[in-house]
Chain A
Amino acid sequence: MLSAIFIGICMSKKDRKAEERAGKRKKDSDKEQKRLLSMGVTELVKEGDICFDAGNIRDAIKIYQIAIKQMSSKLPNSASSNRDQYTKSPINEVKSKLFIAYITRANELKNKNMLSEAKAIEKQAMASIHSPLCLDVTGMGLFLKLSTPEDVFKSYNDFYTNKKREQQSLDLTPLERILAEILIKHNCWEKVGILNDDILIKRDAPVAKSAVLFMNSGDWDAALESMKSISRSSPFAHIRLFCKAMSAFYKDNDKEMLKAISMIPKESMFIKITDTLKYGVSDNRLNTKSNLAINKSSLAIKKCLWRGSFDIYDKLENIITNAKKENYNDYLQKNIVEFATLLMPEHTDSVIQFILETLCQLHSNNEHHFLKMADKLLKKKGKIFRLKRDAIFTVEIFLSGLEYFQYLEEEFTTLEEQKMAKSMVIYHIAATIFANRAYSVVAKIIKKEPRYATLLGITSKDGDVATLQMIAFGVKIDPNNSSLYDLALKIPALSNECKKVIETISLAKCEAFPDDPEPLLQIASLYHAKNAYRKAESALQKALELAPHDSRVLDLHVISLLISADKSAAKKKFNLSFQDVEKAKRFNSKQCAILIAEKSIFYKIAENSQANPNEIEEQFSLFSLSEKLKCYALLMADMEYRLMLGKFESLPSSYRKSNKVSKNKAESPNSLANDPYSVVALMFKDNLKRLEELTSWDILNLLLPLPNEWIRLFNRIDLFTYFDLNSNKLILKRLEDRDLLTLIEKIDDYRAFNRFIEELDNRIKAANKGKVDRKKNSSNKSLNLNIENSKSDNKTIENSKPDSKTIENSKLDSKILEFYKVTLKNISQTYRISDRVIYNEYSELISNLDPETEKILKDASIRLSKKTTGRFKDALETFRFDILLHPPMMPHNLFDDYYDDEYYDDDDSEGDDFDPFSSKRGFNPFAQLDELADDFDLSAIPSFVLKMVQKDLKKLLNTPDGREIRKSLDEAIVELEELVDKLNLRSKSDKELNETKKKILKERDYKMKIMMINVCYKEEAMKKFSKEAKILFII
């Protein structure tokens, strides 16, 4: 009851307010009416014109009406009024204005789709004039458009006669253009007879009449041709232009069409058509005239001019809206089918399948209904769709992928296509295994389901071998599937079984691509790795025949010959070594020129057990200072390597004198002829004194690692240790900022890091103190720190002495240097400080960066990430250091979710395999101890013996002689950390790690490395290993 009263009160309040508003409006209106009535005619007309021009048509009509009323009341009698209606008089002028205002208002209503209201206004307009003769030309134009064809010609004839009498020069062509369009539209050519003979339209009417026949039949060229005689001033001229536009439209001559359209008057009835013609002119002039379908205006005209799917976007919108809401109902199905039919009526099924596959991206929660809809739409092919979808999007890649093989015949018509598809599915499976490092899971699946092994040509129980065998099987089915070959080379293979399969795959590639030298180079490298030099030589010979000028072929050939020369020298068959060197020279390899020179001298020294300084000087005379220094360093590296192998009996004593060399500065090379190592070392030192002659690029070149292929000649690729960066501080100082950063990126040896950090620190301090005027110009910002770019940039420097200005211009933003410094520091100390400290350092460093510096740092961060492992690696890779603060996430493994519960057996250690150990750095100090690996047992060594050994080894590691061993042990630490990553062992529980540890120690290669680290390097390893690595590898 109370509420009813309350509503009543509210309502009455509302009504009262509305009443108040209406009353106010009426009051205002009355006031306005009074104001208008008080105005004179001239003022009223002026006010009406203002309203009309401002687009306030309703007010204009009202004002003109008042003006006419006032004027009529002042007229003396009706007779004069009747006479005045045919002449130009003030009242007729206002009537004309009122008529135009009415028609304008009617058009406004038509545009609002208020057609009946518009019609009523038009009637009012016609009633407002007693005769059209009172109208001006504009008004008459509107009048003609509203009149029936029966009246229009008579009205115009009268108007023409009347107006020409008043003003001979008046241009009535616009009106005659309207008549011309009425003639064409209503085909009432006989009405032309009513017109006076001097009316222009009468003259051209017969020509236009004959042209209309062609126009109606769609022969626009003929119509244009027949209207040739129509002049530009003719009322039919714009119709001729329309014919021209239509003709150009069908000839795809947009330029001509647009030109003709631009000359057609805007008020012409053809404008609607010509505006539509413009839709055909779009940015994309192929099939995609999408704006035709997107814009729904003038649809009827568009459908006349084009044949196509105008409602395709409606269907698309329906599909997208329903799919997003996961409404997999009949309506969505209907729209999918209609969309497919509109798009490709001959291949509807394929389009439907494509749409469904695309909808898979939605990862629907309503999967059941989605698949049900797919079954309905695809009918028999529904099963294939499901299998493909599962093979691609779900964990069932193996099972669904293999089951999908059965349906290949239905999907692909020819045998060739079926083979291609099968090998592609195999590639997909193998690539997913590789990406997830899921070799052990593969081994488990095969063990559990041997039929899969048969289906994929797998015989091995080891996961990595099985994966490679799967690839080999795919290659057998489709030898031209190059992706499979590339994948096979990515899978690291240390076991002989793996190498054998890779060899089979590489040989298949040689056969499949007989004109490509690349597979031959790959196979040559494989043969080199297994010391099958004759086979490698044969492969290289074939590659050389295929690509005699390919630098990769030439370089590898030279290396192959020098490996052979080394082997001969080791057997003291120096004549054979020299023969190989001569052969190598013939290849004119630029990159290997210093290598050949070095080997040439090395064999002479080894043959004579002494070094002749003059001979060495002469051999290297053609080289630049930097090349000479590299040759000397290579020579020393060569001698050290052979001594380690114990191959050259004549050298050990002299090698031991190397320390003496650095101490006894007075000694000259000639006095040490019988001490070859010292001779070379002294010559090297002499040349090193000219360091200031070298450019930054020269120094960078000296310190950068050697090409990977050279590893088989020196068993090392780093030469920087010979330049003793700690003593020769000038070396790094001479480097430009960007070259220093390039060097930092390329050298992975922890021993160099401290010196790098020190150098970076000096530069940052210098920058901050303002000692050096750093020019932060834009060229510095865009610097690419890649070695390749650095090379090209320095081409100009290479042949010129460095000047301070050049170096100055290469200074980098101190933020960049700081970033490298902090990163290097954290890479070498990751396991000593907390992640929060690292995060804090970076958050300060990378805040408020300008976009260009940020990009430089992001790129650098990715490159530097390769030097480290674990979460710090992830942070660098993603340039997101906040991830260091979050609890570690479990690594995503496509196979884990599915197979762990069903197959994983903690006690089952048989048949497990581990990711092969990467040996990219190559030098392995344990290579000669391989045979010990099987029997080596740390616990079997008495503790006092072990302590003694460790004490001696510690001493050895601190001597120059121990530097190679230390280096190799550091590399082993990095490689073992990589193994932790590869096996996805980060953040795993101690129990899991200890289980895995047992399995790792069963692997011969790993066992040896772990033992050696524990014996020789345990203290250092404890500092450098991550938490997981400590559990796994410290005994």
Chain B
Amino acid sequence: MLKSFLTLDLPIDASDQDIRKRYLELVKKFTPEQYPVEFQKITSAYESVKNQRNRVKSRLFSALRDVEFDNTLKELADSVKFEKRKIGLRELLRAIEE
């Protein structure tokens, strides 16, 4: 469930409406024709958290999944969020020197 929220870039207490809204935004941006991989990831993340029942089930039994723990944690790390920073030339040139 955590991975799904990270993929959708939503807080874990997001409502059904928030999730739906975000999903529609993302699938509009990442269309299946242009971005099939991303589209599939978004859709599968949405399916797993789209309603309250799925979310409750996930919170209750996430530990039940028969998975390799290291892979699961790596998937989480892979979902980590990076945002672009507004940066000027001077700072960039300083970074080159480092």
Contacts and interface: CB of A to CB of B under 8 A. Distances in A.
B53 A344 contact: no
B11 to A, nearest CB: 6
Given A272-B96, A358-B72, A421 B60 contact: yes
Contact of A269 (B56, B76, B96): B96
B33 interface: no
B38 A425 contact: no
Given A304-B92, A358-B63, A420-B56, A350 B82 contact: no
B37 to A, nearest CB: 6
B69 A286 contact: no
A326 to B, nearest CB: 12
A361 B61 CA distance: 12
Contact of A304 (B53, B62, B87): B87
Contact of B35 (A218, A285, A309): A285
Contacts of B78: 288, 290
A347 B12 contact: yes
Interface magnitude class on chain A: 35 or more
Nearest to A186: B93
Contacts of B61: 392, 424, 428
B77 interface: yes
A172 interface: no
Contact of A344 (B2, B87, B90): B2
Interface centre among B1, B77, B78, B95 (most CB of A within 10 A): B77
A292 B82 contact: yes
Nearest to B42: A286
A305 interface: yes
B77 A420 contact: no
Nearest to B5: A344
Contacts of A300: 95-96, 98
Given A288-B80, A358-B63, A306 B69 contact: no
Given A307-B85, A358-B72, A358-B73, A344 B60 contact: no
Interface in A419-438: 420-421, 424-425, 428
A301 B96 contact: yes
Contacts of B91: 304
A1011 interface: no
Nearest to B83: A307
Contact of A306 (B38, B84, B88): B84
A286 B11 contact: no
B86 interface: yes
Contacts of A216: 88-90
Contacts of A956: none
Interface in A357-385: 357-362
Contacts of A185: 93
Interface in A273-327: 273, 280, 283-290, 292-293, 300-301, 303-309, 312-313, 316, 319-320, 323-324
B28 to A, nearest CB: 14
A184 interface: yes
Nearest to B55: A417
A798 interface: no
Interface string B21-65: 000001000100001011001100000000011001101111110
Contacts of A218: 86-89
Contacts of B41: 284, 286
Contact of B83 (A286, A308, A339, A360): A308
A424 B7 contact: no
Contacts of A287: 6-7, 9, 79-82
B9 A304 contact: no
Contacts of B57: 420, 424
Interface string A914-958: 000000000000000000000000000000000000000000000
Nearest to A428: B61
Contacts of B35: 285
A904 interface: no
Contacts, number: 170
Contacts of A354: 1-2, 62, 76
A304 B80 contact: no
A816 B56 CA distance: 47
Interface centre among B26, B37, B93 (most CB of A within 10 A): B93
A900 interface: no
A309 B38 contact: no
Contacts of A355: 73
A312 B77 contact: yes
B44 to A, nearest CB: 12
Nearest to B11: A346
Contacts of A424: 56-57, 60-61
Nearest to B96: A272
Contacts of B87: 218, 304-305
Contacts of A304: 85, 87, 91-92, 95
Given A284-B38, A304-B91, A392-B61, A319 B96 contact: no
Contacts of A286: 7, 9, 26, 30, 38, 41-42
A357 B1 CA distance: 13
A370 B98 CA distance: 41
Given A280-B84, A358-B63, A319 B6 contact: no
A285 B66 CA distance: 28
A428 B64 CA distance: 11
A357 B63 contact: yes
A545 interface: no
Given A344-B12, A362-B69, A424-B61, A288 B79 contact: yes
Interface centre among B9, B30, B64, B96 (most CB of A within 10 A): B96
Contact of A284 (B37, B74, B98): B37
A249 B84 contact: yes
Given A269-B96, A344-B2, A416-B52, A290 B70 contact: no
A343 interface: yes
Interface centre among B38, B61, B73, B74 (most CB of A within 10 A): B73
A250 B63 contact: no
Contacts of A567: none
B6 to A, nearest CB: 6
Contacts of B1: 354
A501 to B, nearest CB: 24
B55 to A, nearest CB: 8
Given A218-B86, A306-B84, A308-B82, A420 B52 contact: yes
A217 interface: yes
A732 to B, nearest CB: 44
A780 interface: no
Contacts of A428: 61
A245 B2 CA distance: 34
Interface of A: 184-185, 212, 215-218, 249-250, 269, 272-273, 280, 283-290, 292-293, 300-301, 303-309, 312-313, 316, 319-320, 323-324, 339, 342-344, 346-347, 350-351, 354-355, 357-362, 388-389, 392-393, 411-412, 416-417, 420-421, 424-425, 428, 480-481
21 contacts: A250-B86, A286-B38, A287-B80, A287-B81, A288-B80, A293-B77, A301-B95, A304-B85, A304-B95, A305-B87, A308-B81, A316-B74, A319-B73, A339-B77, A344-B5, A354-B2, A358-B67, A420-B52, A420-B57, A421-B60, A428-B61
Given A288-B80, A416-B52, 18 more contacts: A185-B93, A216-B88, A269-B96, A273-B95, A286-B9, A301-B92, A304-B91, A304-B92, A305-B84, A306-B84, A307-B85, A308-B80, A308-B81, A316-B74, A343-B2, A344-B5, A358-B72, A361-B63
Interface of B: 1-2, 5-7, 9, 11-13, 26, 30, 35, 37-38, 41-42, 52-53, 56-57, 59-64, 66-70, 72-74, 76-93, 95-96, 98
